[in-house]
Amino acid sequence: MTKIEAARREYSDWSSAIGIRSMDDVNRIIAEGNAIKLINLCEARQERKYADAADEVMWHSDRARIVMMSGPSSSGKTSSSLRIAQQCRVLGITPKVIELDNYFVERDRTPLDENGNKDYEALEAMNIELLGQNLNDLLSGKEIIVPKFDFVNGKTIFDESRRMKLEKGDVLFMEGIHALNPALTPSVDQSRIFRIYISALSALSTGDVHNSTTDKRLLRRIVRDNRTRGISPEENILRWPSVRRGEIRNIFPYEENADVVFNSSLLYDLPLLKYYAEPLLYAIAESSPAYEKAHELTTFLTRITALHPADIAAIPPTSIMREFIGGQTL
């Protein structure tokens, strides 16, 4: 059994143990007015999983002082990494963060894709040499200047105010699409790196209607980007095939390299997403090239009972789902 399969099995066993085997069971709980109890139960389990991941980081921290995190789009990587880091603080570990986006090669060295466009998702778009040098210096107790990539001018900036050193009890957290690929850090002793894979891995049965974790992530992305990034649902649907190609090329081949697999699915996530996503999807015109996918999603959502506003108000500000619907405080 792979690590991904094991994570799915564990989630399925847990949901069955609390009497939830399909979306019909979730729909019944909502109809009976018990949605808040379900939300609280899911959030308590999620918090325990954050703590479990932090325990793993602590147990390996004598050797592995770098934590690399990755996962596909809209998995909740930002929330999960912050919550795991918070649980590390509870254990006396001080997380320090460097964004992998600061390690792009300069714009004139960015590789081109098959269409002649700059490919910012390619591994070769990363400044592997500088990253390796910085990580090895940190692991050996040296101080570094953390680079800052200027996305406007396509240049790397070194600012004296961005100095960093790993002190006793510090662990470095890094997140990015290539974080689970050992080729990102070929000059670094791989035993010094602890890897975490984050994804929405589970989907309850909805009868004969198509349901997938991929569509769940797309719904998350539609809701979040419409709210925070000014990207319309139509545009997001049209971009999705390109996003998926990048995941298939750069993320999924390395998911089994993870030391910990974190399942960011929640039993109430689809009823929540339906409340926000359905009106956005119905607004897409039949003449739009995104209509077919939008119609597929709305057809699927007819099998889901939406949460009520009072239920949604009970979702805690630390929830991973607040990353998508708003109101998050971490």
What is the CATH classification number for the domain harbouring 60?
Answer: 3.40.50.300
Which residues, in sequence order, are CB contacts of 153 under 8 Å at separation 6+?
Answer: 107
User: Is 132 contained in some domain?
Assistant: yes
Q: How does residue 328 score in pLDDT terms, banded at 50, 70 and 90?
A: confident
At residue 55, does pLDDT exceed 90?
Answer: yes
Q: Determine how many CB atoms are found less than 10 A away from the CB of residue 22.
A: 14
How many domains does one find in the chain?
A: 1
At residue 68, does pLDDT exceed 60?
Answer: yes
Q: Mind listing the pLDDT tens digit for each residue in 309-321? A: 999 999 999 999 9
For residue 293, which of 275, 306, 304, 281 has the smallest C-alpha distance? 281
- Decide: residue 89, CB within 10 A, 0-12 exposed, 13-18 middle, 19+ buried: exposed
Report whether 43 contacts 316 (CB < 8 A): yes
**Enclosing H/E stretch for 278:** helix 269-282
Per the listing, tokens 């910990």 go with: 260
Q: How does residue 260 score in pLDDT terms, banded at 50, 70 and 90?
A: very high
User: Is 330 contained in some domain?
Assistant: no
Report whether 178 contacts 250 (CB < 8 A): yes
Share of the chain above pLDDT 70, in %: 98
Higher pLDDT, 119 or 37: 37
pLDDT of 119 reads 87
Report whether 164 contacts 143 (CB < 8 A): yes
Chain center to CA of 278 = 23
Q: Mind listing the pLDDT tens digit for each residue in 199-223? A: 998 777 766 555 688 999 999 999 9
User: Is 174 contained in some domain?
Assistant: yes
pLDDT of 174 reads 94
DSSP-assigned letter for residue 177: T
Which residues, in sequence order, are CB contacts of 49 under 8 Å at separation 6+?
Answer: 262, 263
- Decide: residue 130, CB within 10 A, 0-12 exposed, 13-18 middle, 19+ buried: middle
* Domain coverage including residue 132: 3-325
For residues 9-17, average pLDDT? 94
- pTM, entire model: 0.93
Residue-averaged pLDDT of the chain: 93
Report whether 154 contacts 28 (CB < 8 A): no
At residue 4, does pLDDT exceed 80?
Answer: yes
User: Is 185 contained in some domain?
Assistant: yes
User: Is 225 contained in some domain?
Assistant: yes
Per the listing, tokens 């974790």 go with: 213
pLDDT of 185 reads 97
Per the listing, tokens 């953390």 go with: 146
Which residues, in sequence order, are CB contacts of 11 under 8 Å at separation 6+?
Answer: 201, 202, 263, 265
For residues 77-83, average pLDDT? 91
Lowest-pLDDT range of 188-192, 203-207, 241-245, 263-267: 203-207
User: Is 183 contained in some domain?
Assistant: yes
pLDDT of 208 reads 56
Characterise 326 by phi-psi region: left (phi > 0), alpha (psi -120 to 50), beta (else). left
pLDDT of 298 reads 96
